[in-house]
Structure 1
């Protein structure tokens, strides 16, 4: 199945905003992103259960009226500091495609090579889950490292 088939006009005008400091509010997020176009929806995600229930999850989605507005906001806001943290701004479709690629190439590949991809019930084994989490953390560290290098130059 072609992953590009998931992208449409709506997903191309929807931004993923990550690495949000927990002090950033919905109102502040909208205020910062509104100069780049007409925001038609905003999804600020919260923990719904567990010990962090009611706290922000550190990411949000903003839907602009056009893909051009979304691309402009992405260009202007990606890497910009907010409460001392560089924002990660991508088209929501890019975030989805990146996660699919990471999960299939890194976590899945590691689990398959180690022979622990699944047990008899078809679920990932504990060691495969741990390997997937370690790979995700490594990828995040590399991403932060490259973002810092870009800021320094």
Structure 2
């Protein structure tokens, strides 16, 4: 069996669940997502050091037994309110790609509070950085065309 093929199949049935309220527990998460298929693993992430040690990080991963189950859960749960917050549900393999596209299409100067821009260390992906620079340049150009001289340094 090709190990790369196994990895592709695994990543296609693994979901990223973000924007979780800190009151949501592992058991609650499993109960919310189990109607869509057989969950074969769940990774609920916690802070491991610092002042928030032992507190939930606000996101998790769920692995289904098939791609179809993961797609169904994604379709039904993305945007659904949980404790007053809309869930962000994506295939784990598409997380960074989708966020880069969203970041580049956002209104300049505004940041969507439900979006993360990269890994847990706060670093942005290369595409997200490029999109942010393009948005900043566009905002500066529009500012100049409105008679406002802005310093570019």
* TM-score > 0.5, shorter chain as reference: yes
CA displacement at 1:35 relative to structure 2: 0.3
With normalisation by structure 1, the TM-score equals 0.64
Number of residue pairs matched by the alignment: 108
Q: Provide runs of 4+ in structure 1 moved above 6 Å.
A: none
Q: Is the 8 Å Cα contact of residues 16 and 60 (structure 2) preserved in structure 1?
A: yes
Alignment of 1:43-122 (within 5 A): 43-98=43-98, 103-108=125-130
Residue in 2 aligned with 1:35? 35
Root mean square deviation, CA, Å:
2.3
Q: Give ranges in structure 2 of 5+ residues lacking alignment.
A: 104-124, 137-153
CA displacement at 1:85 relative to structure 2: 0.3
1:57-88 CA distance string (max 9 Å, x none): 00000000000000000000000000000000
Q: How far apart, CA to CA, are the structure 2 residues paired with 1:16 and 1:42?
A: 10
Higher helix share: 1
Change (3 A) 1:88 1:109: closer
* Structure having the higher Rg: 2
Change (3 A) 1:68 1:109: closer
